[in-house]
Chain A
Amino acid sequence: MTALLEVEGLSKNFGGLQVASDISMTLSAGDRCALIGPNGAGKTTFVNLVTGVIPPSAGTIRLDGRDVTRLSAAERVRLGLIRSFQVARLFKSMTVREHLELAVLQRDRRTFRLFANVARVAGLADEVAELLGSMGLTPVAHTAVGSLAYGQQRLLEIALALAMKPKVLILDEPAAGVPHSESQRILDAIDRLPKDLAVLMIEHDMDLVFRFASSIIVLAQGRLLCSGTAKQIAADPRVREVYLGSRTNAH
């Protein structure tokens, strides 16, 4: 297995406040890893550091063997490090189809074609149709995202990430806020993610974590508390302590 994402000694200080300290982890092709931890553990900060939204104070991030620590968020995206957002962050006036067209065109660096017709870009329609189909979004392809059900917006978030052909995919609470009736479709979509993809999922819902993850990383107070297989983590007394200490009800 080749390591696709290697994080070493990642730290971040805001003034005197240490929000991430000395976090290391590795993701290989095909990995399904869950990142868990109580509220305020620094999960979002960690994702922001890895994706390049905020610069780290120390540590290195390697993507597919290449040091990307100094690269901007957009440059990391172009190298295949893609995230979905916790709160669906979409272009409200664009249709579902236009989102996917834009993502595919952006991935292929064809967005500076000023005089081409989107409808006639070679291969685009087929690829978009496939993405729509794989997420069950075909019926709403021409609907503006603003009037889409929330669960469908989350599906579109995942489709958008996949459209960019990621090597490493970070899913930030993909099912959060989705009513139970719709969440099954999101779980199915996650099950069907390409096998060679390295996936890191931030999640609160323990049922989902155990169903999805082959390995689990636990953060607490900005530190890596422990990591291991789902079974190991479930049995780890430290994890229970951290969770029981701050969350009386895991779900």
Chain B
Amino acid sequence: MTSVAERDGKAGRMTRPAPLGRRRDLDWIGIPLIAAAGLAAYWLLPEDLALLTRIAASALFVLSLDLVLGYGGIATLGQAAMFGTGAYAAGILAVNWNNDPFAMLAVGGLAGGLLALVTGALILHARGLTLLMLTIAVGQIVQEVANKARDWTGGSDGLSGIDPAPVLGMFRFDMFGHTSYLFALAVLVVGLVVARRIVRSPFGLACRGVSEDPLRISAIGGSPKSYLVVLYAVAGVIAGVAGALTAVTSGIVGLDSTGFSWSAEALVMLVLGGTGRLYGAVIGTAAFMGVHHILAANDPYHWMAFIGLFLIGIVLFLPGGIVSGVERLGGLRRGKEGGA
């Protein structure tokens, strides 16, 4: 018991969620702003709709990671397990039974949520290094299962032939990707609204408490683990929807979608944008994938060098932890409301 308590204590110090309360006043602008920017991109960059669609779907995935890491303090390298499960569930549904895009999203979210609920209940007693390993292991298992269940998933060839029906029976997924992008953007915006709602709910408040000091939560009568499991499951639903969204808009699901690399990349994108602030997930994803698109066009290794150096720089030159550092960087608001 004592050792669990100690580990909990330590892990609590690992990530500090941004103090939300101070930013609430400006918070509501974010979502309309993202929606507007998304629409502007639609008009301004008609050649890059495929990229923009991937950004929107990935941003939703990174958003789910932000809930887990930024608001729950759970360091994970296995979030792609839920993304991939959602993607495969949606893809299998579309290929075999029902290709309605909303049904695909629902099934994807359900699958991701269920996986997160079950694995979360199994592994979230751990913290720190052990938890990190367990999340990796879950991801590897999901990938192995997907790899082996060839008949359903296509194995290493990937699951293809996903052909979603028109949205609401009206908007066909055209070859230029107009519908895909607008659909993805709409789902992302809805995801942001839902996530924001959760973060500001009594549940969100309790989760912030858990991530700071789980023992103190016990001392006011709460169970830290149940909050984390529910949070993990909710984030799993969002990750699953993001996976399903990728299946809907790209028409294929590959083994990579469950992999360690994808989990790690999501973490990088999140840190790039800033944890514990929801919009950071969108900004980080857009920046990461945008720069990736430009740099990796010539040589993917240039991109790796760039992002690698960037990560090292973040850790070294923002002392006191990434989160507080990122906060200081994006901290115009802090000064403004310091006197409140």
Contacts and interface: CB of A to CB of B under 8 A. Distances in A.
Partners in one complex: yes
Interface of A: 72-75, 77-78, 83, 85, 89-95, 97-98, 101-103, 105-107, 110-119, 121, 142-144, 160, 164
A211 B222 CA distance: 34
B45 interface: no
B19 A93 contact: yes
Contacts of A74: 218-219, 221-223
Contacts of A112: 202-203, 230
Given A92-B212, A111-B202, A143-B340, 13 more contacts: A77-B221, A92-B16, A93-B208, A94-B21, A95-B19, A98-B205, A102-B205, A113-B203, A115-B197, A116-B201, A117-B200, A118-B204, A164-B221
B103 interface: no
A110 B18 CA distance: 23
Interface in B1-29: 16-19, 21-22
B216 A91 contact: yes
A139 B201 CA distance: 24
A57 to B, nearest CB: 14
Contacts of B22: 95, 142, 144
Given A114-B198, A116-B201, A117-B200, A94 B222 contact: no
B202 A121 contact: yes
Interface residues of B, number: 32
A67 to B, nearest CB: 19
B201 A113 contact: yes
B209 interface: yes
22 contacts: A77-B218, A90-B216, A91-B213, A93-B16, A93-B212, A94-B21, A94-B205, A94-B209, A98-B21, A98-B205, A101-B202, A102-B209, A105-B206, A106-B217, A107-B220, A110-B202, A113-B202, A114-B203, A114-B230, A117-B197, A142-B340, A144-B22
Contacts of A90: 213, 216
B230 A91 contact: no
Given A74-B223, A103-B220, A91 B202 contact: no
B227 interface: yes
B65 interface: no
Q: List 6 tightest A-B contacts by C-beta distance, closest first.
A: A77-B221, A93-B19, A111-B206, A91-B212, A105-B202, A78-B221
B20 to A, nearest CB: 8
B121 to A, nearest CB: 15
B90 interface: no
Contacts of B18: 93
Contacts of B212: 91-94
Contacts of B19: 93-95, 144
A105 B221 CA distance: 11
Interface of B: 16-19, 21-22, 197-198, 200-206, 208-209, 212-213, 215-223, 227, 230, 234, 340
B222 A106 contact: yes
A72 B221 CA distance: 9
A223 B147 CA distance: 64
Contacts of B198: 114-115
Main secondary structure, interface of B, reads helix
Contacts of B213: 89-91
A114 B233 CA distance: 12
Contacts of A102: 202, 205-206, 209, 220
Given A94-B208, A114-B203, A142-B21, A164 B340 contact: no
B201 A106 contact: no
B72 to A, nearest CB: 13
A75 B221 CA distance: 6
Most chain B CB inside 10 Å of its own CB: which residue of A107, A115, A164: A115
Given A93-B16, A94-B19, A116 B202 contact: yes
Given A73-B218, A89-B216, A142-B340, A111 B203 contact: yes
B273 to A, nearest CB: 19
B219 A83 contact: yes
A117 B16 contact: no
B310 to A, nearest CB: 26
B168 to A, nearest CB: 25
Nearest to B203: A114
Nearest to B210: A91
A119 B204 CA distance: 12
B21 A111 contact: no
A117 B201 contact: yes
Given A93-B212, A111-B222, A112-B230, A105 B21 contact: no
A164 B227 CA distance: 19
Contacts of B227: 111
A164 B216 CA distance: 13
A108 B137 CA distance: 38
A107 to B, nearest CB: 7
Contacts of B16: 92-93
